């Protein structure tokens, strides 16, 4: 009997606790929400959240935090995030639970006491922000946020900043399982968590020849070789060694663009010779300080450039007289070929770089601002080749040759300034993720900038290059190119 009585008492106590908890949740839910100042990422990772990017609203929110007395050094006008309660109906405005500005946050009670009802109405979507009806509720009874904002995927945990500690944002983000980017400069693909990347790159930026100015394109396979076991840095640098291997091949575009969509871009003069190249590179991070390391890139021709038949229409070329040489460009008198040199073609041969690099996040707890510095040496070789016609039984063919031709030149680094390689990359992942870089290599300045167009999936990228010395015959004095960038990640 006592046994059954004990079971009844336990059941009554448990039922009472359950009813008390249910009532407490029903009664005190709003009080808990109102007193919410710190957030457990495991609990609220599915709450609706978004970043504000409307300049006027960003200024008003920032001013409210300053008025409330929050330290200005903890605030950021560019880093404003809103968290709301899930909506019961699609037509309901959002119920704002928390607003974060930089490293400081206001809960719903502080928001109500500090910010005007009009401002919170704009933020929640209850009031119209744009147009002649600004400040009035939506006429169709449908709540809409009609200001600039960026939704934060719910599966991403809450943090003071949505910036992740990653090295590459556009081309090769390491914080996702699947990634795809498409632009006129480069196409990349990552599938799964293996860390493998397939890349298609147009141009040779490392020596200052972007897009088609190098006369070549590359296909590369990049894979990790050694995992970073340092818990402090492996989120941003998951692998201590990354290597890539692939090939470069000649392109035929860029010669005559009068009737193309890219007719405003200067024509290509430089070429890559027959036979293609092998491309190899690696980044090796120091195990004792993974932010620092060494980088190597090599692009080597697979065969020597001697004499062979070509399709002359696919080569950039110049008349010998255009080079303004005092020495005549012609075959050596001892050479048995009695043909004149019709054109001179410039061919990009071996290139390579060895650099020391350093990754630097201004604040690792809030890694919105990222720098990479590279400093080292760069090598590039361009040779001149003669083009001449040779009659055959089936008709004349055009040959390219470097054998026994007098007056041809080659271009290699000669002084320290031609060996110098220096590059700085900067990226911001605040309300408007953007990036920029400047590079000096081969005595050529190369600048790059990308900006968001829509959300985080469509960007605009631009590159500009110009020699810092007198332009060589095959170089474009001022080359500028822009391209949309489609970026998809999962």
One domain, residues 287 and 323: yes
Instruction: Please indicate, yes or no, if residue 165 is contained in any of the structural domains.
Output: no
Range of the domain at 144: 41-152
One domain, residues 124 and 241: no
> Averaged over 73-85, what is the pLDDT?
90
243 pLDDT above the threshold of 80: yes
One domain, residues 147 and 221: no
One domain, residues 252 and 350: yes
> Averaged over 33-44, what is the pLDDT?
52
135 pLDDT above the threshold of 80: no
Instruction: Please indicate, yes or no, if residue 34 is contained in any of the structural domains.
Output: no
Reported as a pLDDT band with limits 50, 70 and 90, residue 291 is: very high
427 pLDDT above the threshold of 90: yes
Q: Report phi then psi at 273, rounded to 5.
A: -70, 170
One domain, residues 14 and 77: no
**Do 276 and 249 touch, CB atoms closer than 8 A?**
yes
Least confident of 128-132, 197-201, 376-380: 128-132
Instruction: Please indicate, yes or no, if residue 172 is contained in any of the structural domains.
Output: no
Least confident of 24-33, 193-202, 460-469: 24-33
Rounded CA separation 417/8 (Å): 90
> Averaged over 144-169, what is the pLDDT?
71
Rounded CA separation 428/435 (Å): 6
One domain, residues 259 and 297: yes
pLDDT for the residue numbered 3: 43
Reported as a pLDDT band with limits 50, 70 and 90, residue 341 is: very high
pLDDT for the residue numbered 75: 92
pLDDT for the residue numbered 282: 97
> Averaged over 211-224, what is the pLDDT?
95
The residue among 193 and 190 whose pLDDT is bigger is 190
One domain, residues 443 and 315: yes
Please state, for a pLDDT cut of 90, what percent of the chain lies above it.
Answer: 56
> Averaged over 107-119, what is the pLDDT?
89
Least confident of 10-19, 232-241, 287-296, 331-340: 10-19
Reported as a pLDDT band with limits 50, 70 and 90, residue 158 is: very low
Q: Is the pTM of this model over 0.75?
A: no
pLDDT for the residue numbered 43: 59
One domain, residues 204 and 61: no
Reported as a pLDDT band with limits 50, 70 and 90, residue 191 is: confident
One domain, residues 146 and 192: no
pLDDT tens-place string over residues 385-409: 999 999 888 889 999 999 999 999 9
Q: Ranked by mean pLDDT, which of 3-17, 297-311, 322-336 comes out on top? A: 297-311
pLDDT for the residue numbered 246: 97
One domain, residues 229 and 364: yes
Mean pLDDT over the full length of the chain: 85
Number of structural domains in the chain: 3
Q: Which residues contact 331 (CB under 8 A, 6 or more apart)?
A: 337, 338, 339, 341, 386, 404, 405, 406
Instruction: Please indicate, yes or no, if residue 231 is contained in any of the structural domains.
Output: yes
34 pLDDT above the threshold of 90: no
Q: Report phi then psi at 141, rounded to 5.
A: 60, 25
> Averaged over 332-342, what is the pLDDT?
90
Pairing of strands 216-227, 239-250: antiparallel
370 pLDDT above the threshold of 90: yes
pLDDT for the residue numbered 51: 92
Instruction: Please indicate, yes or no, if residue 65 is contained in any of the structural domains.
Output: yes
Q: Which tokens is 221 given?
A: 């396979």
Instruction: Please indicate, yes or no, if residue 36 is contained in any of the structural domains.
Output: no
pLDDT for the residue numbered 19: 39
Instruction: Please indicate, yes or no, if residue 105 is contained in any of the structural domains.
Output: yes
Rounded CA separation 56/43 (Å): 32
One domain, residues 320 and 412: yes
Number of helices (H) and strands (E), helices first, in the chain? 6, 26
Reported as a pLDDT band with limits 50, 70 and 90, residue 139 is: low
One domain, residues 191 and 334: yes
Instruction: Please indicate, yes or no, if residue 167 is contained in any of the structural domains.
Output: no
Question: Given 152, 167, 201, which residue is the final one in a domain?
Answer: 152
3-state DSSP call for residue 61? helix
11 pLDDT above the threshold of 70: no
pLDDT for the residue numbered 474: 95
| Pick from 404, 409, 402, 421: nearest CA to 381 | 409
154 pLDDT above the threshold of 80: no
């Amino acid at each position: 009997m006592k046994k059954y009585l004990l079971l009844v008492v336990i059941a009554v106590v448990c039922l009472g606790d359950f009813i008390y908890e249910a009532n407490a949740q029903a009664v005190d839910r709003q009080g808990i929400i109102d007193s919410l100042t710190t957030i457990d990422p495991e609990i609220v990772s599915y709450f609706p959240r978004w970043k504000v990017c409307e300049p006027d609203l960003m200024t008003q929110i920032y001013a409210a935090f300053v008025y409330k007395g929050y330290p200005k050094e903890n605030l950021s006008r560019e880093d404003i995030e809103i968290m709301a309660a899930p909506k019961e109906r699609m037509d309901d405005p959002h119920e704002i639970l928390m607003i974060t500005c930089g490293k400081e946050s206001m809960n719903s009670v502080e928001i109500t006491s500090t910010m005007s009802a009009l401002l919170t109405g704009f933020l929640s979507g209850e009031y119209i922000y744009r147009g002649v009806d600004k400040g009035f509720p939506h006429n169709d009874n449908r709540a809409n946020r009609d200001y600039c904002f960026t939704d934060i995927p719910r599966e991403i945990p809450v943090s003071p900043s949505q910036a992740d500690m990653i090295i590459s944002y556009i081309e090769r983000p390491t914080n996702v399982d699947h990634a795809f980017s498409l632009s006129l400069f480069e196409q990349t693909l990552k599938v799964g968590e293996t860390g493998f990347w397939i890349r298609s790159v147009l141009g040779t930026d490392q020596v200052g020849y972007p897009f088609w100015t190098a006369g070549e394109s590359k296909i590369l396979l990049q894979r990790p070789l050694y995992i970073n076991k340092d818990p402090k840095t492996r989120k941003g640098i998951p692998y201590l060694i990354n290597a890539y291997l692939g090939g470069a091949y000649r392109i035929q575009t860029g010669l005559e663009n009068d009737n193309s969509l890219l007719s405003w871009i200067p024509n290509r003069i430089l070429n890559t010779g027959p036979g293609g190249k092998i491309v190899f590179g690696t980044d090796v991070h120091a195990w004792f300080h993974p932010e620092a390391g060494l980088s190597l890139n090599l692009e080597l021709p697979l065969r020597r450039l001697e004499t062979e038949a070509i399709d002359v229409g696919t080569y950039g070329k110049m008349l010998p007289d255009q080079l303004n040489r005092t020495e005549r460009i012609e075959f050596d008198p001892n050479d048995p070929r009695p043909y004149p040199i019709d054109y001179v073609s410039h061919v990009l041969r071996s290139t390579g770089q060895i650099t020391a690099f350093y990754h630097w996040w201004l604040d690792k707890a809030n890694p919105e601002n990222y720098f990479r510095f590279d400093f080292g040496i760069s090598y590039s070789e361009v040779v001149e080749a003669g083009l001449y016609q040779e009659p055959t039984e089936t008709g004349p063919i055009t040959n390219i040759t470097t054998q026994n031709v007098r007056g041809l030149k080659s271009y290699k680094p000669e002084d320290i300034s031609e060996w110098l390689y220096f590059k700085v990359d900067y990226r911001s992942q605040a309300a408007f993720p953007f990036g920029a870089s400047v590079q000096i290599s081969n005595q050529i300045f190369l600048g790059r900038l990308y900006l968001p167009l829509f959300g985080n999936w469509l960007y605009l990228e631009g590159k500009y290059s110009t020699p810092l010395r007198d332009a060589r015959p095959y170089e474009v004095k001022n080359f500028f190119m822009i391209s949309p960038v489609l970026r998809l990640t999962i």
